Amino acid sequence: MLVREQATSAVTDGDSGHGRTSWETLARGMGVSALNPKGLLLFLALLPQFTNVRWDWPLAAQLGLLGLVFTATCGVFYLFLGSFARKVVRARPVATVILARLSGVAMIAIGALLLIDRFLV
């Protein structure tokens, strides 16, 4: 029951007890996303396909605009996803506990499968 009470209080508090403002949370999220190597690789692998050196715009400007459009699209998507998730979690605090446990089990299973793959192959 302790886990359920903690999840319920974290959901109702809306801040999970860290004392951060919304702007600090936003800045931290943007910093983590900007330093994510997978995101940078996505830009390097995906965006150059949609550029053309023969166009009037310089290549750097084309990549910059495409990057801004992609970032804005992702921002809007995650804004709606986060808002939806917040509504679901606030409406069903027990769902938070179930989701956390399922996520933990999934991570343990993935780790076990990676270990098995590493040592048996």
Neighbouring residues of 108: CB distance < 8 A, sequence distance ≥ 6: none
Q: How confident is the model at residue 39 (pLDDT cuts 50, 70, 90)?
A: confident
- Report whether pLDDT(14) > 70: no
Highest mean pLDDT: which range of 11-20, 26-35, 46-55? 46-55
Do 66 and 45 touch, CB atoms closer than 8 A? Answer: no
**pLDDT confidence of 5, banded at 50, 70, 90?**
low
**DSSP assignment letter at 52:** -
Query: Tell me, what's the pLDDT at 1?
Result: 47
How far is Cα 66 from Cα 58, in angstroms, rounded to an integer?
Answer: 13
Region 85-92 average pLDDT: 86
Rounded to the nearest 5 percent, the helix, strand and coil shares of the chain are: 85, 0, 15
In the predicted model, is pLDDT for residue 76 greater than 60? yes
pLDDT, tens digit (0-9, with 9 covering 90-100), for 51-67? 998 999 999 999 989 98
Q: Taking 80 as the threshold, does the pLDDT of residue 74 lie above it?
A: yes
Range of the domain at 112: 2-120
Query: How many domains are there within the chain?
Result: 1
